[in-house]
A = this chain, B = another copy of it.
Amino acid sequence: MVVTGLFIGRFQPFHNGHLNAIKESLSKAGQLVIAVGSSQRSHEPENLFTLGERIEVIHRVLKEEGLWEKCLIVGIPDVNNNSLWVAHLNALTPRYDMVFSGNPLVTRLFKEAGVEVIAPSFYERGKLEGKQIRLLMKEDSPEWRSHLPKAAVDFIDEINAIERLQDILGSDSHQEVKGEE
């Protein structure tokens, strides 16, 4: 029986650190369910892409890398109730044998559910944090391009996502639409 891993992230945006961590996880698990968190959020500085856009990018990259045959992608909307989160996620994913995540809250919630979480040793912290990449994207500093797989860069150019980010940042109200005063 093939061992199934669950890999959890927000992927805003999907970057080389994610890709390396997926490869690392696939050295331990025969197939990987990639769970995309905060799936209902988009058009925010910290959550630029819709779930559909994130799935499209990840799918393209994994195809290019020849890894798609071993992967599945699922979206996980926020449940806004931490004590329900593991049950919520379990209803949305195929069964899995191991969990990969670097997030302390995710790790804690699984621990209380009796599941150990493996933290991928996956990227040189400081360089590949999503937060820093988003800062580079805001200024359209060319450096952000070197941190993402080529298919992800192409997708961002294709949908003009840098312009989206800059337009949104003109806003005083980043989290939700509120209308002007």
> Taking CB as reference atom, which chain B residue is nearest A17?
B181
Q: Is A78 interfacial (CB-CB < 8 Å)?
A: yes
Q: Which of A11, A76, A181 has the most CB of B within 10 A?
A: A181
Contact of A50 among B41, B91, B106, B178 (CB under 8 A): B91
Chain multiplicity (copies): 6
Q: Is A142 an interface residue (CB 8 A)?
A: no
The CA of A112 and the CA of B169, in the complex, are separated in Å by: 16
**A170 near B104: Cβ-Cβ < 8 Å:** yes
Q: Flag if A80 contacts B39 (CB, 8 Å).
A: no
- Contacting B at CB under 8 A, from A49-99, are 50-53, 55-56, 59, 68-69, 72-88, 90-95
A56 nearest CB neighbor, chain B only: B94
Other contacts beyond A11-B181, A51-B91, A78-B177: 17, CB < 8 A:
A10-B179, A17-B181, A35-B179, A37-B178, A37-B179, A38-B178, A40-B80, A43-B82, A43-B105, A55-B93, A72-B73, A101-B180, A103-B173, A103-B180, A106-B180, A108-B164, A133-B181
21 contacts between A and B (CB under 8 A): A9-B181, A10-B180, A10-B181, A11-B181, A18-B181, A39-B92, A40-B80, A41-B82, A42-B81, A43-B83, A55-B74, A55-B94, A56-B94, A69-B69, A84-B84, A103-B171, A103-B177, A103-B180, A104-B168, A105-B168, A130-B181
